Amino acid sequence: MYQPDFQYNDRIVRLLARIQAAREIILNTHVPPAWERRLQINNLFRLAYHATSLEENGLSIRQVTKLVNGQDIFGDETDKKQVLNFLELNEYLQGSDGDISEEMVLDLHRIATKDILPEDELGRYRTTVAEGFMEPERVRYCVRDLIDWIYGEEASEIMPALVAGIVHYELYRMHPFEKASGTIATSISSYLLSKNFREAKKLFTLEEFFNQRKKDYFEKLEGWNREEPNLNEWLEYYLYGLALKVSRVENAVLNISRDYGTVGKYIQTGLKDRQVKAIRFAREMGKITNKEYQKLCDLGASTAKRDLQELVKKKIFVQVGRTGRGTYYKLRYDHLDELI
């Protein structure tokens, strides 16, 4: 039976406390649905890029964003397939609500490597020796042991973030497949986190933290300078990244919630009905242009401009662009990209 070899220390305890505190605030703070959707969409772009970049995908974030939006791009066909497969894998996990099983692990590999590996290698454990990793004949049994541990008594007494970090480490160290073992490890770990964070897991991506510190990521998992990797060192690294990401989401939702309430107060005091319509339109659509405001309220261009500038002066709107066709207005709290 699998037994994780780690010890609690002050750093791990502090990081777990920070993660739990941020989780409670995120889950219990109201964010307008339109903004929650935008956070989720922004996160999906970053997730698809960073998760596949960790597996040496060569596409840029701009190219990946186009693929996520359903557009075709000029690029390496295998790289494109890898991103599209990851999107399918992510959708598969979001549609799942049961326990992890060995069949799920194999299904994830089939999805991740579809049209990349030969058909008879999809969902098949590694059969060759991989230097620095587990012997291939042990892989199947160790995967089963790890899954049994996840749903056993010992793991039930450990905080979910810690369980997710342990599973990420052990699955990666097993290296169960010839290709995409890293993707499977991060995806299973992320699935475990989603059980604890629920819909809030769609607001952050830990893969971004790993990819931005790729050298550290692989050294913590594979060892460095001929030294064996250490589970405690990995958990400190993993939990620090998770604490950093959820703290940024915590700050974002608190700022959005606070400023959303401020806008609500303005709606109740001293604005024209048509300006209230402009605020509601921008809240739902993310922005409003002069022409959209004219059409929305049947106004002339000069009246529309005057109304919108008044909302800028009241610090409800910010203007993006000086003049011309590309100019638009957005709510002051629309700063999601800077916050997360």
Q: What is the pLDDT of residue 338?
A: 40
Instruction: Report yes or no: 52 and 215 within 8 Å, Cβ to Cβ.
Output: no
Domain boundaries, the chain: 10-254, 270-339
Cα–Cα distance measured from residue 65 to residue 85, given in angstroms and rounded to the nearest whole number: 14
Q: Which residues are CB-contacts of 270 (< 8 A; sequence separation ≥ 6)?
A: none
**Integer Cα distance of 80 and 95 in angstroms:** 23
DSSP state of 227: B
CA nearest to 143, candidates 162, 125, 156, 131? 125
pLDDT tens for the chain, 340 residues: list them: 888 989 999 999 999 999 999 999 998 888 778 778 888 998 999 999 999 999 999 999 999 999 999 999 999 999 999 999 999 999 999 999 899 999 999 999 999 999 999 999 999 999 999 988 999 999 999 999 999 999 999 999 999 999 999 999 999 999 999 999 999 999 999 999 999 998 888 889 999 999 999 999 999 999 876 678 899 999 999 999 999 999 999 988 887 776 555 555 555 556 788 888 898 888 778 889 999 999 999 999 999 999 999 989 888 889 998 777 789 998 876 443 443 3
Per-residue pLDDT at 277: 87
Question: Distance between CA 231 and CA 210 in Å, rounded?
Answer: 16
Give the pTM: 0.78
**Distance separating alpha carbons of residues 277 and 259, to the nearest angstrom:** 18
CATH of domain 10-254: 1.10.3290.10
Topology annotation, domain 270-339: Arc Repressor Mutant, subunit A (1.10.10)
Report the pLDDT value the prediction gives residue 260, as an integer from 0 to 100: 58
